Structure 1
Amino acid sequence: MDQAVNWLVENQEAILLFAGKFVIALAIVVGGFVLSGILTKSMKKRLDKSKIDNAVVSFMAGIIRTIIIIASLLMALSHVGVQTTSFIAILGAAGLAVGLALQGSLSNFASGVLIMIYRPFKSGDYVDAGGIAGTVERIELFITVLKTPDNKIVMVPNSRITGNEITNFSQEPIRRVDMVIGVSYDADLKKTKEVLMEVISSDERMLQDPAPRVSVNALNDSSVDFIVRPWVKSEDYWPMYWDSMERIKNALDANGIGIPYPQMDVHLHHPEGQVSELRIANPEKLEQK
């Protein structure tokens, strides 16, 4: 007992110095927890106002909180005299190893965060993302789930989506229907244009503003191609397209306007100098045979 008392008396200054450092270290840790709580709450409020997905907000807030707490613990240990260099080296090596092992997953995660922050699409949109076309079912941190028109569920890695072009067909309220109609060179172009315009104008789904357009687009080998471009609401795009194609075919037939097959003219030269002409319809099918 006397030895313990003597030791305390002899080391009184060192004990008081260590106690002071310990109190300061404890204050650093407590301050780190308090600061992390304040910063995460503030960040959540700011991100909530920007309408970022709640999963991303919570995850980012958790990362910030963890970083602040780890930093405060390292500062506290360093203040009481513990060498933290080895701890930092271990954490760095562990982080590098985990990063290399989960390189693909981390890439998908980072892409998922970007998708949720910038929101190029949302649930319910019809998109072409990562080469897959479908309706967005849900957006997760690592994958985006799409439902294709034939009712298949496709889980697309987020890195594949952000690494390619994203086409959102649902973001704008209206779309232009693009159709190309080929008619015979013998057809009356003015009459053909009137027939095509009448077909699309009679459909109540067509919008008057922007105005529709029917024009000659190309003079191909065996046909004169018209572009037919009415504007419709986005949800009416495919119904308008399919119905218009059928009605255009019937209207052209009713007005005697032909839709030609691909064809080529072959001229045969005989030794006597006579020239014979042979017309081959649909040469693609002839080559296949």
Structure 2
Amino acid sequence: MNLNPNQLTDYANTFVKALIDYSPKIISAFVILFVGLYTIRLINRFIRKIMIKRDLDPTLTKFLADILLWILRVLLFVTFISKLGIETSSFVAILGAMGLAVGLSLQGSLSNFAGGMLIILFKPFKAGHTIEAQGVIGTVSEIQIFVTKLITANNQTIFVPNGSLSNGTIINYSLQGYRRADLTIAISYDTNIKKAKDIITTVLNSNPKILKTPSAEVSVKNLTDNAIQLAVRPWANNEDFGVVFSETLESCKLAFDTAGIVIQPYVRESSKANS
């Protein structure tokens, strides 16, 4: 199809007129966009500073700030396209449908998300605490929105889903600041119980890492067919717990050797019945 110069001129004039008529909307829309992006950045920084001053959990601070950032960006985008003259009702309906579809397909992830929120808000543990949950023990390295990262004693990294973590039993070994070691030392029936207890008490009192309050306990735990079991329960700060546990066993063995007391070997009832 051939266009004559007059038609081209008419098209050009129509385009220029439409552009002139529409340009105020375009200019105002982009002004709103750029000013809005700058304002959102300022609001986000301001909110982060407030939450940091109020000593909120760093993970919660970052998460809430990011959520607020994206909510404000979505609202700004809707305002931007509305200013351009685009109908927003259909756009909102599409977003709603997409949100429903994503929600149905990510039920497990949403459960972990909700669990992460509960952990962050109610704080049954925080980074640096040693916990036992879902059959694993480790030190909390990071609390993320969907998973919690644990570092085990042998430096393995375990990611535990927050959904199952928030709904299960959690043992927090660090929350109180100190722990009790529950040790069992077996001696023969020929051994003087009071003498053995005095030796263990001396060992406990000579270890500076063992707390004086609460005081350590030494008592008869059980009388089995082949041994007298003594319960040894020293208290230690969390950072000294492992050392206290091993040092107590070692020192008691050395003290018993010096006193001529033999630690009774543990005999399983099953092996005894089979003999």
TM-score, scaled relative to structure 2: 0.69
- Is contact 2:59–2:143 with CA below 8 Å preserved after alignment? no
Q: Does 1:64 align with 2:50?
A: no
* Correspondent of 1:208 among 195, 206, 212: 212
* Correspondent of 2:127 among 114, 122, 125: 122
Q: Distance in 2 between matches of 1:39 and 1:201?
A: 58
Q: Give, as a single letter, the amino acid of the residue that structure 2 aligns with 1:173.
A: G
* Correspondent of 1:96 among 100, 124, 131: 100
- Structure 1 residues 75, 151: CA separation in 2 closer, same or farther (over 3 Å shift)? closer
Quote the residue 1:230 is aligned against: 234
Equivalences for 1:161-200 in 2 at 5 Å? 161-200=165-204
Quote the residue 2:159 is aligned against: 155
Quote the residue 2:243 is aligned against: 239
- Structure 1 residues 60, 206: CA separation in 2 closer, same or farther (over 3 Å shift)? closer
Q: Give, as a single letter, the amino acid of the residue that structure 2 aligns with 1:284.
A: S
Q: CA deviation at 1:151?
A: 2.3
- Is contact 1:52–1:117 with CA below 8 Å preserved after alignment? no
Q: Distance in 2 between matches of 1:97 and 1:202?
A: 66
Quote the residue 1:133 is aligned against: 137
Q: CA deviation at 1:194?
A: 0.9
Q: CA deviation at 1:50?
A: 3.3
Q: Give, as a single letter, the amino acid of the residue that structure 2 aligns with 1:49.
A: K
- 1:183-214: CA deviation from partner (whole Å, max 9, x where unpaired): 23343222221121112222222222222211
Q: Give, as a single letter, the amino acid of the residue that structure 1 aligns with 2:270.
A: E
- Stretches of structure 2 lacking an aligned partner (at least 5 in a row): 1-24
- Structure 1 residues 34, 138: CA separation in 2 closer, same or farther (over 3 Å shift)? closer
Q: Give, as a single letter, the amino acid of the residue that structure 1 aligns with 2:251.
A: R
Q: Does 1:255 align with 2:241?
A: no
Q: Distance in 2 between matches of 1:50 and 1:91?
A: 35
- Stretches of structure 1 lacking an aligned partner (at least 5 in a row): 1-21, 263-280
TM-score, scaled relative to structure 1: 0.66
* Correspondent of 1:108 among 93, 107, 112: 112
Q: Does 1:285 align with 2:271?
A: yes
- Structure 1 residues 41, 239: CA separation in 2 closer, same or farther (over 3 Å shift)? closer
Q: Give, as a single letter, the amino acid of the residue that structure 2 aligns with 1:180.
A: T
Number of equivalences: 254
Q: Give, as a single letter, the amino acid of the residue that structure 2 aligns with 1:201.
A: N
Q: Distance in 2 between matches of 1:146 and 1:217?
A: 34
Secondary structure at the aligned position of 1:154 is classed as strand
- Structure 1 residues 174, 286: CA separation in 2 closer, same or farther (over 3 Å shift)? closer
- Is contact 1:143–1:155 with CA below 8 Å preserved after alignment? yes
Q: Give, as a single letter, the amino acid of the residue that structure 2 aligns with 1:131.
A: G
Q: CA deviation at 1:61?
A: 3.0
Q: Give, as a single letter, the amino acid of the residue that structure 2 aligns with 1:140.
A: Q
- Structure 1 residues 189, 121: CA separation in 2 closer, same or farther (over 3 Å shift)? same
Q: Distance in 1 between matches of 2:149 and 2:66?
A: 25
Secondary structure at the aligned position of 1:222 is classed as coil
Secondary structure at the aligned position of 2:241 is classed as helix
- 1:149-182: CA deviation from partner (whole Å, max 9, x where unpaired): 1222222223233232333333443322221222
Quote the residue 2:20 is aligned against: none
Secondary structure at the aligned position of 1:252 is classed as helix
Please give the root-mean-square deviation of Cα atoms over the aligned residues, in Å: 4.1
Bigger mean CA deviation after superposition, 207-216 or 138-147:
138-147
Q: CA deviation at 1:240?
A: 1.6
- Structure 1 residues 251, 98: CA separation in 2 closer, same or farther (over 3 Å shift)? same
